[in-house]
Amino acid sequence: MEEKKSKFTPILKPDKEYPEVTPYSVSMGVLMAVIFSAASAYLGLKVGQVFEAAIPIAIIAVSLSSILGRREAVGENVMIQSIGASSGVIVAGAIFTLPALYILQAKYPGMTVTFSQIFVSSLLGGCLGILFLIPFRKYFVVEKDGEYPFPEATATTQVLLSGEQAEGKGSSAKPLLLAAIVGGVYDFVVSTFGLWTEQLNTRMTEWGAAMAAKAKLVVSLNTSAAVLGLGYIIGLKYAAIICAGSALVWWVLLPVLGTVPGLESVDPRDLFTDYGRNIGIGAIAMAGLIGIIKSWGVIKSAVGLINGTKGDAQKAQSNVPRTKLDLSMRLLVVAVAVALVCTLVFFWVGVLHNFWQALVAFLVVAIISFLFTTVAANAIAIVGSNPVSGMTLMTLIVASVVFVAIGMKGASGMVGAMVIGGVVCTALAMAGGFITDLKIGYWIGSTPRKQETWKFLGTLVSAATVGGVMIILNKTYGFVGDNALVAPQANAMAAVIEPLMSGQGAPWMLYLAGAVLALILNFMGVPVLPFALGMFIPLHLNLPLLVGGGIAWLVGEKHQEKGTLIASGFIAGGALMGVVSAIVKFCGADWYLTGWAESGWAAIVGIVAYVALIAYFVVATKRK
């Protein structure tokens, strides 16, 4: 490690200027932010997993620069990726929390949800995540170089450099585009026309229906191309852990609960909603607490680093290499102050309409966002996944307890708590995503100050896009009722908030059971967060992750890069066409063949189509 660290030099020389911020890179970055914000929002609300946009955007950027014949484009491509990658993190922060407002609105008609609430909370959260992380850049990116693996940053950097170092720089564009077309058409056909069953399950057979009714046993699988690609990128290890959590709930806990007097006739889906998912919520909350405890040393070290850099703001930076230039500490302090004031005003004028309650909400956001920023960055640096949902659940529980103590209850308290959750969740998602961007820039030799400055533009564009898309999807599908978008994290957030704010209490024993389970898993060395996520995400959305992870294991490391291209194409194409399908339905065109889609023949066609999709995935990945 030390040898690698001492010999490290960036690809772009620190003493030379390269094209980075140009009209081309900024406009392409904004375009990527819009496209992937829409795609990520749809996929995340449908399956509860937001794919990281960094790698697909990097592939597109490299391919386009080759097609357009742009020279020395790697600096521009880093900027395109950095601006565009704001999409995934802003979407994660928004859809994990704010759809809960729509879910609760169905029970409390007086509750209002506006575009401005979604947009401003996402924007402020994203800006706070950027500002809180910048002082820690040197600690995570430079001081810890060679110690943290940064898996996503490593993969994205390889993609960006492949366009500069290999002949035929646009060679990755063709398989990516073809996979996007295949995945997009596949998912568009099933979601728009229903030519085959999107969700295969054992209830379709007589013996399966009997098993569900008597033993509460159900096996179900979503056949979406986008989810299949997501499973490939997650990999077999974490897909297996997620499915293990799902199996514990669906194949162990629910059958046991089905033997309890009074629950024998309850449908397994209702048992999952009322019991299994709440145990998962407790496990996720404990996973966040475990993350804070494990990262406490990082927090103290990073704070010490901030104190040590205050004097640097006074020094002239004319002789400092551009690869070491951050936004000045003085400017950063002013920007943080402005962002915090805007947050306070937003809570006061736009949400709570009570200054003292808004002040309490503001303090909760400021303290928790700053405290959890290092946890998010540390998680991304080590394992490449951000436990943002677990930390946000903890935030909501803390905020709800505080709000009830100061007299905030009912619908207004729920709105306040969820908006707070949205700001915190977005801030933490941004912190984790932005540390990846900065690490990529460090390895390649980009100018940190430029990345930090233009990241705010990506945040603005992504926040506006996700607000509009969320409203369209709510009006088209909704978040409550039959065929509604799953939005599992948002449902979990609503399940936590409602009993606390309505004076009904909460299922504390179920939360406690999940928390104890999380402690046991942590003691055993099992990653707690993915296991807990599997416990409250429906089974049919977890099993295809295992299929995708199995494909990754089957094709092996030799074909990993090609497989990532195919999987990214499936994800991008499937998710984007899902948004197109939603827009078609939103415009009043209903082409779905309901009768056929629910028939046995549609299930058979669904099995054949899914097997064909898997076969294409494997063959295309292994093809030279």
User: 547-568 pLDDT, tens per residue?
Assistant: 999 998 998 877 877 887 788 7
pLDDT above 70: percentage of residues in the chain: 86
What tokens were used for 343?
A: 């947050």
In the predicted structure, residue 457 carries a pLDDT above the cut 90: yes
Contact status, residue 118 vs residue 467, Cβ threshold 8 Å: yes
Q: List the chain domain ranges.
A: 17-309+329-622
In this prediction, residue 358 carries a pLDDT of 86
Work out the pLDDT band at 301, boundaries 50, 70, 90: low
Give the three-class secondary structure for 228.
helix
C-alpha 593/C-alpha 370 separation (Å) is: 50
Q: How big is the CA angle at 607 (ends 605 and 612), to the nearest 5 degrees?
A: 95
Work out the pLDDT band at 167, boundaries 50, 70, 90: very low
If you write DSSP's letter for every residue of 255-271 in order, what string do you get?
HHHTTSTT-TTS-HHHH
Give the three-class secondary structure for 51.
coil
C-alpha 442/C-alpha 142 separation (Å) is: 8
C-alpha 32/C-alpha 90 separation (Å) is: 13
Give the three-class secondary structure for 503.
coil
| Phi, psi of 407, rounded to the nearest 5 degrees | 95, 5
- Mean pLDDT value of segment 179-183: 89
Work out the pLDDT band at 168, boundaries 50, 70, 90: very low
User: 245-284 pLDDT, tens per residue?
Assistant: 999 999 999 899 888 888 888 888 888 878 888 888 788 7
- Mean pLDDT value of segment 469-488: 77
In this prediction, residue 217 carries a pLDDT of 86
Q: What is the 3-state secondary structure (H, E, C) of 440-488?
A: HHHHHCCCHHHHHHHHHHHHHHHHHHHHHHHHHHHHHCCCCCCCCCCCH
Work out the pLDDT band at 162, boundaries 50, 70, 90: low
The pTM assigned to this predicted structure is 0.72
Give the chain's mean pLDDT.
80
Instruction: Enumerate long-range contacts of 523-530, CB under 8 Å, 24 or more apart.
Output: 526/241, 527/238, 527/241, 527/383, 528/283, 528/286, 528/287, 528/290, 529/284, 529/287, 529/291, 529/385, 529/387, 529/389, 529/390, 530/238, 530/241, 530/242, 530/245, 530/385
Task: List the one residue out of 2, 33, 131 whose CA is nearest residue 465.
Answer: 33
In this prediction, residue 68 carries a pLDDT of 81
In this prediction, residue 304 carries a pLDDT of 56
- Mean pLDDT value of segment 464-469: 87
Of 313-317, 468-472, 514-518, 572-576, the range with the highest mean pLDDT is 514-518
User: 44-100 pLDDT, tens per residue?
Assistant: 776 655 666 777 788 788 888 888 877 778 888 999 999 998 888 888 888 877 788
Report the range of poorest mean pLDDT among 1-15, 16-30, 88-102, 564-578.
1-15
In this prediction, residue 170 carries a pLDDT of 46
Report the range of poorest mean pLDDT among 368-372, 428-432, 507-511.
368-372
C-alpha 596/C-alpha 582 separation (Å) is: 20
Give the three-class secondary structure for 511.
helix
Handedness of CA 14, 19, 22, 26 (dihedral sign): negative
**Residue 341: burial class (beta carbons within 10 Å; 0-12, 13-18, 19+):** exposed
C-alpha 97/C-alpha 496 separation (Å) is: 11
Question: Measured between alpha carbons, how far is residue 449 from residues 61, 380, 409, 452, 556 in Å?
Answer: 21, 21, 44, 5, 39
If you write DSSP's letter for every residue of 373-418 in order, what string do you get?
HHHHHHHHHHHS---HHHHHHHHHHHHHHHHHHTT--HHHHHHHHH
In this prediction, residue 474 carries a pLDDT of 81
In this prediction, residue 4 carries a pLDDT of 39
Work out the pLDDT band at 387, boundaries 50, 70, 90: low
Contact status, residue 597 vs residue 156, Cβ threshold 8 Å: no
In the predicted structure, residue 3 carries a pLDDT above the cut 50: no
Characterize 564-580 residue by residue with b for buried, 16 or more Cβ atoms within 10 angstroms of its Cβ, and e for exposed: bbbbbbbbbbbbbbbbb
Give the three-class secondary structure for 339.
helix
In this prediction, residue 2 carries a pLDDT of 36
Task: List the one residue out of 192, 220, 284, 230 whose CA is nearest residue 43.
Answer: 230
C-alpha 548/C-alpha 233 separation (Å) is: 8
In the predicted structure, residue 14 carries a pLDDT above the cut 90: no
Contact status, residue 458 vs residue 83, Cβ threshold 8 Å: yes
In this prediction, residue 369 carries a pLDDT of 82
Contact status, residue 19 vs residue 71, Cβ threshold 8 Å: no
Report the range of poorest mean pLDDT among 308-312, 559-563, 578-582.
308-312
User: 319-365 pLDDT, tens per residue?
Assistant: 677 888 888 778 888 898 899 999 999 988 888 888 888 888 888 88
Task: List the one residue out of 327, 344, 525, 498 whose CA is nearest residue 418.
Answer: 498
Task: List the one residue out of 201, 243, 193, 250 whose CA is nearest residue 221.
Answer: 201
- Mean pLDDT value of segment 520-539: 84
C-alpha 243/C-alpha 363 separation (Å) is: 38
In this prediction, residue 310 carries a pLDDT of 47
C-alpha 48/C-alpha 490 separation (Å) is: 9
Contact status, residue 64 vs residue 30, Cβ threshold 8 Å: no
Question: Measured between alpha carbons, how far is residue 366 from residues 124, 360, 424, 434 in Å?
Answer: 11, 10, 8, 19
In the predicted structure, residue 223 carries a pLDDT above the cut 70: yes
Report the range of poorest mean pLDDT among 79-88, 184-193, 386-395.
386-395
